[in-house]
Structure 1
Amino acid sequence: MSEKRKKTYHFHDEWEVEFFFTTVRGSCVCFICGATVAIAKRHNVERHFTTCHTSYHANYPPGSALRAERARELKAALCKQQSFFTRPVKNSQKATEASFRATQFLMKKKKAFTDGEVVKEAMMIIAKTVLEDEKYGTDVLSSLSDVQLGATAMVRRVSAMSGNLTDQLDRDLARCRWFSIQCDESVDSSSTAQLMVFIRMVFDDFSTKEELLTLLPLKTTTRGVDIYNAVKEFLVEKKVPLEKLVSVTTDGAPAMIGRHTGFVAHCKADPEFPNFLQYHCIIHQQALCAKVICFEHVMTPVVKIINSIRSRAKQHRTFKKSDGSAGDEFCNVFLSLLDEIKEFMQSRGEDTVLLEDTEWILDLAFLTDITGQLNSLNCELQGKGKTVAGMISALNAFKAKMNLFSVHLQSKKVPHFPSVQMVLKDNASASEAFDKVAEKYSQVINRVGQEFENRFCDLDQLVSFISKPFMNVNISCIAEQLSATHQSTTH
């Protein structure tokens, strides 16, 4: 015999005016006396009202506006009474949340833990000044004073946020479908090699997430085996599901991609690692492409002059004083400060013949423009959420621009080289010199474009597959296979 289903009762809004009751956390509460009725049955509510508050029928007749108004007043009083007890809890929660948010902001700005007290003190001074005569100024000041921003409190907040982020990452690793990692080794201010490991996870709904997986110090050597041991130890300790690994991206250092002793080679030789794809960092290769410009005859004197000015404090101060009208934004733009630099060097009796050479100035302007183009591409390739397809598309667009620039230079046109345009406009003898060097600039552009072609041609096939996965599929062959499969299942 089946068990009898338990009946469920619900509170009805009309009982607020009819019986002066409301519901609080699933229980029926009387407006008048605060008594509760556990089960929201009409009979229970009506019995309490008629037994305990008989006079209300006479004083506030059913259906009258007076009765409805009295019900609203009693409900408002009950809500106010409840808020009296819940407000301190809410204020405490808000103060804690504010402490976390302020700590996160200060940490992102790389501020010390002790700066929290300074920020709070400044915040209180501002609040007292602005809110002194306001109606709720005292309440606001009281709430601000409850926000904990001491050094000890901030340490606890950072520790809590760090633990929470670690827990989130562990959960994401457990539920992701696939992931890839990127390793980059650099040296910090204390001359300790630090290995940064980034991770990109792909989930069942095809969404992706990128995070800094870990920062591993390499305290001794930075050989491929050292990097492999550090990464493997971390992955095992964190119980990272290696079977989900699909690719590893590194720079071109021998310690990373060495055929026999590199980090990737050690990973591929480890049976616990799956068969994964290997990539050379696109941004790193893009930076290497700039090496083919070969304008040392420009860069060497520029670096030497800048270092000469900055190496002596007195000279540096004198130069800044003489260049006060130029603006701080031009301090590191050598070409824009060329006249000021030349005047400064002449005042010290230094040789400025090179700075008066029109062809050298054109080379400097050309180098400034082409470097600006490369820097713009580098910035476009950076950032979270970038995919290899999008990055290769940006590189292909840049290669097309290089071809266009080369054609323009061969025709003695410089619409995309503003610095060269400025020199040609300001220097009367620059046009004749430009006719001599335009072909050289075109060859430099061609070398840069060819270097991009050589380094990234292998990725075109991958990008083609990602953007059009069925482009090279033999439709006839697939149709025959489907037909054969259908026939085998029907017999």
Structure 2
Amino acid sequence: MRHASYVGKSADFFYRKLSEFRKSQDTLKEATQMTSSSLLASYEVSLLVAKSKKPYSVAEELIVPAAAILAETMLDKKAADAIKTVPLSNDTVCRRIDDMSADILAKVVEKLKRSDCFALQLDESTDVSGKSQLVAFVRFKDTDNITEHILFCKPMLARTTGEDVFNVVDSFFTEHSLDWQRCSHICTDGAASMMGRTRGFLARVKQVNPGIKTVHCIIHREALASKRMCPKLHEVLNDAVKIINFIKSRPLNARLFEKLCDGANSEHQQLLLHTDIRWLSRGKTLQRLFELRDQVNDFLSEHLHSLAPLLKNNSWLAYLAYLADVFSRLNDLNLELQGKDTTVLHLYDRVSGFMKKIELWCRKCQNGDVSSFPQLDMCLVNVRAEKVSILQTVQAHLDKLSSEFRSYFPDIEVHNSALDWIRNPFVATCTQTVPVTLQERLIDVSSDRGLKIMFSETSLTQFWCNVEKEYPDVGKHALYELLPFGSTYLCEVTFSAMAHIKTKQRNRLSLERNLIAAVATLHPRMHKLICDKQVQISH
């Protein structure tokens, strides 16, 4: 007989045992539910750590203790004890980030396989440990809009030739069953390994997909177009850099100059170093030097520097003022070209507008009017004898700048006018570059008042995604032109994130998973990840 010891017990005894059993079940359920919540919290906090680009140990060393103190102070000790059960050790956070980045990548790949075509953006840079990292972003139509996502960050183990870059990308495509034929556009910088006609990456890609279109980063082209100057202005720039380096490259001089500026109640206390690889460097450097010219003059004169007389030379100051003005304008253009979710049409519009401004400045300068450059205009008052020579130099530089922009953007006006129907189908007339069948559909679109209302309320890409649902042929054609990346801005921003993530103290870090979690716009499927994990107490 089983449970012979319970023979003869009263009914109250068995009711009490049943009650105890049910209470133990409730306790078990409560504990399990609490640890499930802590597992979700572990993933969410780990994602925050990845987004902040901080070391994994910050969760266990700072976040959990701080949260526990806040909970105990604002709530009670029970809430603080519950927070301490969240597993956030260094290794745990690492595993969580790996899980989430893998899930994000899986989502992107799934979306790519469902899309008709996609565009790539590629660039390569070197991290703090000396390894070359190749970063790729992808752009495709997702449901009702065009979206951008990071695709991978792969180390280049040996050389960085076009063939090596192609092998890395091709291996990724093969691993994830992606078809090269669906890749319609690729945007890269102007490096020879990327743009080379015979051995470059793009030439290698065209062997597997001859119909692919390539885009040279518009921001890089803008920087290249503004790089060349006449000898006189180049000399002024070099002298300005020498003056700045004399002050900034010596810590004692930097401290003394800061004290001098502070005593003069200057708006700024330091000069800015010139770095040629930074897009905005020249404009900011020259502008700061011009603003602090009086303080720099006093400092150089006190130290008997050979370049001190330049700060008293009104002609040299006029050239410096012009360089500060014109590069500030170029910086404004550069900033307009930066940003996420931009289209090639938008970037070309900005460049086209700037080219027209250069033509306006040229015409005004021929008549002696430099009001577009206020600092130069102010300095010309003090150089009446050399005003003609200065204006001739300015005119020559503006002509050269206009010529360089036309060289790097040869077909910008033709490209813009041919695609006006995409910018606004309700105003632009049908273009001859569009087939007759699409022109007929475009007439239908322009006559649809409902779409006209939608056009004013949504972004351009969203509008054409909605048009595609009713008019697939014309919508698909418009989206094809809106799909390519116009610049490698996203890669450049990611390299900045890479510099924060992989530091001297973390130089052996495996970068890809951390970078994907840090810069991805997609949110990982937390509940899917939790279902695959066993609930455990904090460790």
Q: TM-score scaled by structure 1?
A: 0.70
Please state whether the residue corresponding to 1:389 is helix, strand or coil. Answer: helix
Q: Per the alignment, do residues 364 and 276 of structure 1 end up closer, same or farther by CA in structure 2, a change over 3 Å counting?
A: same
Quick one: distance in 1 between partners of 2:125 and 2:183? 24
Q: Per-residue CA shift, 1:430-471, capped at 9, x if unaligned?
A: 455445412321332232223222222324444444332741
Quick one: distance in 2 between partners of 1:102 and 1:331? 40
Quick one: distance in 2 between partners of 1:373 and 1:477? 40
* 2:301 aligned partner, one-letter code: Q
Quick one: distance in 1 between partners of 2:253 and 2:386? 33
Please state whether the residue corresponding to 2:166 is helix, strand or coil. Answer: helix
Q: Per the alignment, do residues 105 and 415 of structure 1 end up closer, same or farther by CA in structure 2, a change over 3 Å counting?
A: farther
Q: Per-residue CA shift, 1:164-215, capped at 9, x if unaligned?
A: 1111111111111111112222222333322222211124x56212122222
Q: Per-residue CA shift, 1:253-294, capped at 9, x if unaligned?
A: 222222221111122223xx3521122121111111111334
Q: Which residue pairs with 2:474 in the alignment?
A: none
Q: Which residue pairs with 2:91 in the alignment?
A: 152
Please state whether the residue corresponding to 1:191 is helix, strand or coil. Answer: coil
Q: Which residue pairs with 1:164 in the alignment?
A: 103
Quick one: distance in 2 between partners of 1:119 and 1:415? 55
Q: Per the alignment, do residues 342 and 468 of structure 1 end up closer, same or farther by CA in structure 2, a change over 3 Å counting?
A: same
* Native 8 Å contact 2:236 2:316 kept in 1: yes
Q: Per the alignment, do residues 318 and 263 of structure 1 end up closer, same or farther by CA in structure 2, a change over 3 Å counting?
A: same
Quick one: distance in 1 between partners of 2:197 and 2:301? 55
- How much does 1:139 deviate? 5.4
Quick one: distance in 2 between partners of 1:149 and 1:476? 60
Please state whether the residue corresponding to 1:185 is helix, strand or coil. Answer: strand
Please state whether the residue corresponding to 1:339 is helix, strand or coil. Answer: helix
Q: State the structure with more CA Rg.
A: 1
Show structure 2 runs of 5+ residues with no match: 1-24, 273-287, 423-429, 441-539
In the alignment, structure 1 residue 454 sits paired with structure 2 residue 407: yes
Q: Per-residue CA shift, 1:35-54, capped at 9, x if unaligned?
A: xxxxxxxxxxxxxxxxxxxx
Quick one: distance in 1 between partners of 2:167 and 2:346? 33
Q: Per the alignment, do residues 95 and 319 of structure 1 end up closer, same or farther by CA in structure 2, a change over 3 Å counting?
A: farther
Q: Which residue pairs with 1:304 in the alignment?
A: 242
Q: Which residue pairs with 1:326 in the alignment?
A: 266
Percent identical residues = 27
In the alignment, structure 1 residue 406 sits paired with structure 2 residue 342: no
Q: Per the alignment, do residues 238 and 389 of structure 1 end up closer, same or farther by CA in structure 2, a change over 3 Å counting?
A: same
| Count of equivalent residues | 388
- How much does 1:341 deviate? 1.8
Quick one: distance in 2 between partners of 1:340 and 1:334? 9
Quick one: distance in 1 between partners of 2:249 and 2:80? 51
* Native 8 Å contact 1:117 1:149 kept in 2: yes
* Native 8 Å contact 2:257 2:270 kept in 1: no
In the alignment, structure 1 residue 283 sits paired with structure 2 residue 283: no
- Corresponding residue to 2:431 among 471, 480, 484: 471
* 1:284 aligned partner, one-letter code: H
- Corresponding residue to 1:342 among 290, 297, 302: 297
Q: Per the alignment, do residues 213 and 474 of structure 1 end up closer, same or farther by CA in structure 2, a change over 3 Å counting?
A: closer
* 1:110 aligned partner, one-letter code: K
CA RMSD across the alignment: 3.2
In the alignment, structure 1 residue 395 sits paired with structure 2 residue 351: yes
Q: Per the alignment, do residues 83 and 478 of structure 1 end up closer, same or farther by CA in structure 2, a change over 3 Å counting?
A: same
Q: Per the alignment, do residues 321 and 330 of structure 1 end up closer, same or farther by CA in structure 2, a change over 3 Å counting?
A: closer
- Corresponding residue to 2:46 among 87, 103, 106: 103
- How much does 1:88 deviate? 6.3
- Corresponding residue to 1:380 among 332, 336, 347: 336
* Native 8 Å contact 1:389 1:467 kept in 2: no
Q: Which residue pairs with 2:12 in the alignment?
A: none
**Bigger Cα displacement from structure 2, 349-358 vs 189-198:** 189-198
Q: TM-score scaled by structure 2?
A: 0.64
* Native 8 Å contact 2:68 2:84 kept in 1: no
Quick one: distance in 2 between partners of 1:429 and 1:191? 51
* 1:230 aligned partner, one-letter code: V
Q: Per-residue CA shift, 1:117-166, capped at 9, x if unaligned?
A: 343266248626xx73x5x4445544544444432232122112211111
Q: Per the alignment, do residues 442 and 84 of structure 1 end up closer, same or farther by CA in structure 2, a change over 3 Å counting?
A: farther
Q: Which residue pairs with 2:165 in the alignment?
A: 227
Please state whether the residue corresponding to 2:130 is helix, strand or coil. Answer: coil
- How much does 1:249 deviate? 1.9
Q: Which residue pairs with 2:150 in the alignment?
A: 212
Quick one: distance in 1 between partners of 2:240 and 2:115? 51
In the alignment, structure 1 residue 357 sits paired with structure 2 residue 300: no
* 1:326 aligned partner, one-letter code: S
Show structure 1 runs of 5+ residues with no match: 1-81, 480-491
Quick one: distance in 1 between partners of 2:213 and 2:107? 26
The one of the two structures with greater contact order (alpha-carbon pairs below 8 A, sep at least 6) is 2
In the alignment, structure 1 residue 257 sits paired with structure 2 residue 200: no
* Native 8 Å contact 1:362 1:434 kept in 2: no
Q: Which residue pairs with 1:78 in the alignment?
A: none
Quick one: distance in 1 between partners of 2:102 and 2:261? 51
Q: Per the alignment, do residues 476 and 310 of structure 1 end up closer, same or farther by CA in structure 2, a change over 3 Å counting?
A: closer
* Native 8 Å contact 1:223 1:255 kept in 2: yes
Q: Per the alignment, do residues 110 and 477 of structure 1 end up closer, same or farther by CA in structure 2, a change over 3 Å counting?
A: closer
Q: Per the alignment, do residues 197 and 474 of structure 1 end up closer, same or farther by CA in structure 2, a change over 3 Å counting?
A: closer
Q: Which residue pairs with 1:247 in the alignment?
A: 185
* Native 8 Å contact 2:68 2:81 kept in 1: no
Q: Which residue pairs with 2:397 in the alignment?
A: 444
